[in-house]
Structure 1
Amino acid sequence: MIPKPLHAANELLAFLLELAAFGSMTWWGFRTGSGVPVHLLLGLGTPAAAITLWGLFCAPRATFKVPLFWVMLLKAAVFGGAALCVYAVGHHALGIAFAIVAALNTALATADREALVHTRRA
């Protein structure tokens, strides 16, 4: 387990990364394609789909509890997709940095939660 202050900071970062992921999808959607209908569909539909999937399977109080493998796969898809969205709108370094920070944050949070689960079982 990591120290409480680091745990709290990492959890805050995780939340901010989630918001940034959904925001980047919105940004990409409104910049992609041509015409208002396409912009609305992609700019609102893409983050709405990601938010729905996140709430159903990845959130701390997710509607459905699924094995960790599937949670991690979905998180990788959302964060990876968000990084690609940032990259696609022309901010290559920011997209790469987002992917790295999201991966490190998710790995640390997962390891910390798993350690907490094993500590509680003991």
Structure 2
Amino acid sequence: MKTLNLLIIFLSELAVIGSVAIWGFTLGTGWALRLLAGIGGPALMIALWSLFGAPDAAHKVHGATRAVFETGWFGAGAVALALAGYAAPALVLAVVMTLSKCLAVTWHQ
């Protein structure tokens, strides 16, 4: 079960990046802004995760700071998906991410 949970966490990380891309590409503005948001948004999320969230992050955060960071980072993915018009998948993503992270904390992953 613990290995499966790590897989779910990894897939959730990818889902966040994909959700931000979907949000960016579905903005109702001109194509230039959609392109910028659709590529730049995921790039920003990847940069933030690599700096603060990844196992080998240069400035890995711990404790309460980590909880705040992950809530914001994973939450941004769910919100982006909802803003793109996919409310039900956003809710599923939020629930799965929350349960998986709670198990990770319980299992010291």
Q: TM-score, normalised by structure 1?
A: 0.83
Q: What corresponds to 2:34 in structure 1?
A: 39
- Could you tell me which amino acid in structure 1 is paired with residue 11 of structure 2? L
Q: What corresponds to 2:46 in structure 1?
A: 51
Q: What corresponds to 1:119 in structure 2?
A: none
Percent identity, aligned pairs only, is 37
- Could you tell me which amino acid in structure 2 is paired with residue 69 of structure 1? A
What does the per-residue CA deviation read over 1:30-83, in whole Å, with 9 as the maximum and x for residues that have no partner?
Answer: 101411220121111111111111111111111113222112211111211111
Number of equivalent positions: 109
Q: What corresponds to 1:17 in structure 2?
A: 12
Identify unmatched segments of 5+ residues in structure 2: none
- Could you tell me which amino acid in structure 2 is paired with residue 60 of structure 1? P
Corresponding position: 1:26 with 2:42: no
Runs of 4+ in 1 over 4 A off after TM superposition: none
Give the distance between the partners of 1:65 and 1:15, measured in 2 at CA. 17
Corresponding position: 1:72 with 2:62: no
Give the distance between the partners of 2:94 and 2:36, measured in 1 at CA. 25
Corresponding position: 1:95 with 2:90: yes
Identify unmatched segments of 5+ residues in structure 1: 1-5, 115-122
Give the distance between the partners of 2:52 and 2:103, measured in 1 at CA. 19
Give the distance between the partners of 1:24 and 1:66, measured in 2 at CA. 23
Give the distance between the partners of 1:41 and 1:69, measured in 2 at CA. 32
